[in-house]
Amino acid sequence: MIQKAEQLLQQYYGFSSFRPGQEQAIRQVLESENTLAVMPTGGGKSLCYQIPGLTLPGTAIIISPLISLMKDQVDALNSYGIAATYINSSLSIQEQRQRISDMENGSYQFVYVAPERFDSSHFMSVVKSIDLSLIAFDEAHCISQWGHDFRPSYRSIVPTLKQIPDLPVLMALTATATQEVIKDIQALIDVPDHSVVNTGFARENLSFRVIKGRDKRDFVQEYLKSRPDEAGIIYTATRKDADQLQQFLSKKGYSTGKYHAGMTEDQRKQVQMDFVQDELTTIIATNAFGMGIDKSNVRFVIHYSMPMNIESYYQEAGRAGRDGEPGDCILLFSSQDIHLQRFLIDQSPAEDKKKEEYAKLQSMVNYCHTHTCLQQYILEYFNNPFPTEPCGKCSNCTYEGIEQDMTREAQMVLSCVKRMDERFGAGLTAKVLRGSSDQKVKQFQFQKLPTYGIMSNYTEKELTRFIHFLTAEGYLAPGQGRYPTLRLTQEALDVLKGEKPVIMLVESTTTEQEEKYNHEY
Ligand code: ADP
Ligand code: ZN
């Protein structure tokens, strides 16, 4: 049957060979093995269910929470001459009825539906009565409560589906799944370990960069100047930031589009269409933008502020370079970003999840402070199944600093944290090390500590940055409580005992660093 699959690949899509993982996933589905495919964005997940859907008799049902993507997928299939449709709330009731009745008559090879559709008993009775080739769960991470985009309605259809008497082979596809999410999906739709096809998450065409200590607006302006005709997205944390940045850029003569939930639906649709059709090159948007936008030639994604977690970051940044051509993923970091994200977590009603959200936020902050390869950092965060090499092109891999032994300095910081009983954050620790006469230092009598003022040759800012570095490299970790406190890790104890050196890349001189920034693009 796999020969048939190869032939279809050529015949319908005009491709000569499968991408990594595709063949195994397709082979398994053809052999009725429930399958989970974890592949990066742009890796070619659609083919993994489309080819079996074309090969096996009956109708394939694709469940997707992204209504906006269904039409594109269906249009693409129709353009190859394949009978496909979607049924969702964007259609009139009559149209929905018509399509369900056509589906009952076996008119379609592919039917795309949203999870909510299975709440309808009429739809379920039709599903039970027809021949099915397969059922695929697209964006399957939404099934899992460990996923960053959990949709309860998605999870709850699984028991409903299991009522189908001749349940066909099941398939789940996602680009973002931690080990927990993978296990969860496996358990839910009965996928044995050997049927998980995981090609990893690496997007080799993407270059990651973290920029600190620069005026963000200036950076964006200069960047756009250097990339005049390229499509890109600039994500801001708030609508207000989006408005203000657009105003600033338009004063400077850049024409950009804007997209956020404060605009009317018509306005948003228009901007989205202009962007997809290359009428507009740059979009300034909140995270409301992007879900379900199928534009493969996005050349850069700039985050004007740090997002809440690595999952969101990788998903948003990953909208660059879906065509496999180079993409730039730039994060502009300032420490205020952390306060905003903390505030947002504090505001969220899900009390039981807050601890986890804070921990995820901390991993995001660590990404901004780490000196290791950014691509590797992300892949390790997601437990990439393959060993990874430094990418050679992220801002850390290309940073030309000089290695400096900071073991002694690290010992000073760590012992200060220890003497402060591991109950305070980076800010106050920096003040104590610097020897500040701040009110709070006195309040806790920290001026009496032997570590008080032992690093007075550094500025408070340098010290805070160094403490963040030590956190990002795993010597310090956030405490359990509600406030950002620091505690020592096992590695920290090794450093204190003199068993582990701490090496940091430092700038050779300030002017060289400025030069580097100026020539960066
Ligand atoms: P995903 O859903 O994993 O993000 P898609 O299924 O949208 O990825 O595929 C991304 C792009 O790669 C599409 O343009 C698709 O046509 C192309 N593609 C998929 N499989 C192959 C293949 N075997 N050879 C060449 N191009 C492919
Ligand atoms: Zn790198």
The number of the ligand nearest the C-alpha atom of 295 reads 1
pLDDT computed for residue 42 by the predictor:
77
Mean pLDDT of 334-363: 88
pLDDT computed for residue 166 by the predictor:
87
- Rounded to an integer, what distance in angstroms lies between the CA atom of residue 362 and that of residue 364? 5
| CA 161–ligand 1 middle distance (angstroms) | 28
- Rounded to an integer, what distance in angstroms lies between the CA atom of residue 126 and that of residue 132? 11
pLDDT digits (tens, 9 = 90+) for 482-495: 677 899 999 999 99
Q: Name the residue with the closest Cα to ligand 1, atom 18.
A: 44
From residue 373, alpha-carbon distances to 376, 391, 395, 404, 431 in Å are: 5, 7, 8, 18, 30
Residue 519 has pLDDT above 70, yes or no: no
| CA 230–ligand 1 middle distance (angstroms) | 22
Q: Chain-wide mean pLDDT for the chain?
A: 90
Helical axes 354-369 vs 336-347, angle rounded to 10°: 170
pLDDT computed for residue 403 by the predictor:
83
Higher pLDDT, 520 or 117: 117
SS3 for 8-44 is HHHHHHCCCCCCCCHHHHHHHHHCCCCEEEECCCCCC
pLDDT computed for residue 385 by the predictor:
67
The number of the ligand nearest the C-alpha atom of 370 reads 2
Q: Which two tokens stand for residue 131?
A: 């021949």
What element of type H or E holds 216?
helix 216-226
- Ligand 1, residues 8, 39, 46, 54: which to mutate, most atoms within 8 A of Cβ? 46
Say what percent of the chain tops pLDDT 90.
65
pLDDT band at 292 (very low <50, low <70, confident <90, very high): low
In sequence order, which residues have a C-beta less than 8 Å from that of residue 349 and are 6 or more positions away?
none
Residue 502 has pLDDT above 80, yes or no: yes
pLDDT computed for residue 329 by the predictor:
98
In sequence order, which residues have a C-beta less than 8 Å from that of residue 382 and are 6 or more positions away?
176, 177, 178, 201, 310, 314
Residues within 5 A (CB) of ion ligand 2? 373, 375, 390-391, 394, 397
| CA 18–ligand 1 middle distance (angstroms) | 10
In terms of DSSP bridges, do strands 298-303 and 196-198 run parallel, antiparallel, or are they unpaired?
A: unpaired
pLDDT computed for residue 508 by the predictor:
64
DSSP state of 291: T
Mean pLDDT of 351-356: 85
| CA 96–ligand 1 middle distance (angstroms) | 29
Residue 384 has pLDDT above 60, yes or no: yes
Atom of ligand 1 nearest to the CA of 175: 3
Pocket of ligand 1 (CB under 6 A): 15, 18-19, 22, 39, 41-47
Mean pLDDT of 49-65: 95
pLDDT computed for residue 510 by the predictor:
47
- Rounded to an integer, what distance in angstroms lies between the CA atom of residue 317 and that of residue 235? 9
**Which of 2-16, 316-330, 376-390, 414-428 is predicted most confidently?**
414-428
Q: Name the residue with the closest Cα to ligand 1, atom 2.
A: 45
Task: Give the lowest-confidence range in 151-160, 235-244, 273-282.
Answer: 151-160
DSSP 267-281: HHHHHHHHHHTTS--
Q: Nearest CA to 52 among 113, 111, 133, 106?
A: 133
Residue 512 has pLDDT above 60, yes or no: no
Atom of ligand 1 nearest to the CA of 45: 3
pLDDT band at 511 (very low <50, low <70, confident <90, very high): very low
- Ligand 1, residues 47, 198, 203: which to mutate, most atoms within 8 A of Cβ? 47
- Rounded to an integer, what distance in angstroms lies between the CA atom of residue 185 and that of residue 155? 9
- Rounded to an integer, what distance in angstroms lies between the CA atom of residue 488 and that of residue 415? 9
pLDDT band at 325 (very low <50, low <70, confident <90, very high): confident
pLDDT digits (tens, 9 = 90+) for 410-444: 999 999 999 999 999 999 999 999 999 999 999 99
Residue 234 has pLDDT above 80, yes or no: yes
Residue 516 has pLDDT above 70, yes or no: no
Q: Name the residue with the closest Cα to ligand 1, atom 9.
A: 44
Residue 353 has pLDDT above 90, yes or no: no
pLDDT digits (tens, 9 = 90+) for 195-206: 999 987 788 899
Rg of the chain over all Cα atoms, to the nearest angstrom:
26
pLDDT digits (tens, 9 = 90+) for 85-100: 999 988 999 999 999 9
| CA 48–ligand 1 middle distance (angstroms) | 10
pLDDT computed for residue 40 by the predictor:
85
Residue 183 has pLDDT above 80, yes or no: yes
The number of the ligand nearest the C-alpha atom of 391 reads 2
- Rounded to an integer, what distance in angstroms lies between the CA atom of residue 509 and that of residue 521? 20
From residue 270, alpha-carbon distances to 38, 207, 277, 278 in Å are: 33, 30, 11, 12
Say what percent of the chain tops pLDDT 70.
96
pLDDT computed for residue 168 by the predictor:
95
DSSP 106-160: T--SEEEE-GGGGG-HHHHHHHHHS-EEEEEETTGGGG-TTSTT--HHHHHHHHH
Atom of ligand 1 nearest to the CA of 138: 2
| CA 11–ligand 2 middle distance (angstroms) | 39
Residue 509 has pLDDT above 60, yes or no: no
